[in-house]
Structure 1
């Protein structure tokens, strides 16, 4: 009698039991809240980058109630450097929704979890399967790569037909047993074995029936997004510095890049920075152009032209505007800062 080949899920779970990651911070004291925060942080961010942010975040906001009642500035401050700041704003909105509308209890189905701001189908599935141990297919970047290679699903996942095929593959391979372990297993396999470049196929529990491995076409899956030239934008940032190393910051609109974060006042590159500083804030001082800093977003490069304006005295009228503040390092309340602004501030404020 021929031996029965273990299923896709069985092989993956056997591999996970021996080689999977089981000591990540969000795998301890599992709750829907802790898993939800980790899954939002892990969207488009590597595990090793997330860990210190997660630990710090959970120390400051150990419960959804604490997160909901925290000022958004404090939440954004803890997010500074993680990028994709809409995640933090959605996290705060969702926390308020859970506390105010759901009595502090997280949804227990994928459909209801998707109603939270910032939670899509895959994130909802991960939370439900890990926190509640219910079967829920997922499709994050690592899972797309594993399934695309194993089943030779061609095309870019941004195309509807490809995405539908990947979701169907996820649905077909997700087991009813040990859903939490399986979800972690397939994410781990993609992150540590079935990697983008130089996948370690010899160590993969799925290699016996992986189409890409058998045909040597691993690099062709998943299909890549069609390339477009990345445009370059430019802006001047006014680094207005008063005595005692007070730096003027302005609150950005809630929408758009760095929404809701504090930044240096911005000026179009074609406008004279000194004139704008005088017209908008009534200040003037010794002006120095600093080296251009390039910050790259997913869809364009931003060339920042820092203009340092050193004042002789601190103007009082500026403080009448609640969208402006004088930043002075440790003596300033925690506020959310965009990563390049944080870097430029450190250069200005001597330790």
Structure 2
């Protein structure tokens, strides 16, 4: 079941007041601590934003930041990618790893756009039917091109949401974890969905890390279920 904005409808969202507190604290932190990347600047194109998200999958943001100018010098547009081939794109992407899947994904996206005369597919189902385009890249297109409230849900964002809201994983694969998606969409229910996505990604990268050590200094700890339930005061 889906609503008119292509947002998956799974479980009931958490209490509005809990989500609101999380969102407010998160954005207050983000206003002082957000990471600065080229693809986040105001005048950058959606092409650069979406390409960056393809490259960011399972790769540190700092690595992508250093590599992006090289990629854009060779492929400045979707048209440039569409006129290339998988081997050429892959050869450029090899330093990042996962180069074959990224090459397939970028080329398939470029050809789809070219086939549609520059228009993007409108639905998640259409986007995810494109070769090597999964949930994350489809969400990036929906977020940046169609201004939908789509979460860029990766392992780091999942860790943050599971900890704060005490979500017991329903599935090991976050793509199919319904409670996790419900809360991710609830967080994006109001406010700027792009900034909220970046705030969650930054908070997970800088504060709510995999290793212990960030809980005591965390601005969200007063309402965080992970902190409240942890026997270790520093998690």
Question: Shift in Å at residue 134 of structure 1?
Answer: 3.1
| Equivalence for 1:30 | 44
Q: Distance in 1 between matches of 2:85 and 2:92?
A: 11
| Equivalence for 1:114 | 128
Give the TM-score, by structure 1 length. Answer: 0.55
CA 1:122–1:204 in 2, change beyond 3 Å: closer, same or farther? farther
- Spell out, residue by residue over 1:150-186, the C-alpha distance to the aligned partner (whole angstroms, 9 max, x if none): 1222347425898122112212222322111101111
Q: Distance in 1 between matches of 2:103 and 2:153?
A: 22
Residues 90 and 102, structure 2, Cα contact 8 Å, conserved in 1: no
Structure 1: 5+ residue runs without aligned partners?
Answer: 222-351
Residues 122 and 140, structure 1, Cα contact 8 Å, conserved in 2: yes
Residues 110 and 125, structure 1, Cα contact 8 Å, conserved in 2: yes
Q: Distance in 2 between matches of 1:217 and 1:71?
A: 54
Question: Shift in Å at residue 69 of structure 1?
Answer: 0.3
Q: Distance in 1 between matches of 2:226 and 2:60?
A: 25
Superposed counterparts of 1:16-165, under 5 Å:
16-21=30-35, 23-28=36-41, 29-84=43-98, 85-99=100-114, 101-155=115-169, 157-158=171-172, 163-165=177-179
CA 1:133–1:203 in 2, change beyond 3 Å: closer, same or farther? farther
Question: Shift in Å at residue 66 of structure 1?
Answer: 0.6
Q: Distance in 1 between matches of 2:213 and 2:185?
A: 24
Q: Tell whether 2:230 aligns with 1:216.
A: yes
CA 1:63–1:139 in 2, change beyond 3 Å: closer, same or farther? same
The root-mean-square deviation of aligned C-alpha atoms, in Å, is 2.7
Q: Distance in 2 between matches of 1:207 and 1:189?
A: 13
Question: Shift in Å at residue 111 of structure 1?
Answer: 4.3
Structure 2: 5+ residue runs without aligned partners?
Answer: 1-16
| Alignment partner of 2:203 out of 177, 189, 193 | 189
Higher RCO (C-alpha 8 Å, min separation 6) = 2
CA 1:114–1:13 in 2, change beyond 3 Å: closer, same or farther? farther
Task: Name the one with the larger strand percent.
Answer: 1
The count of aligned residue pairs is: 214
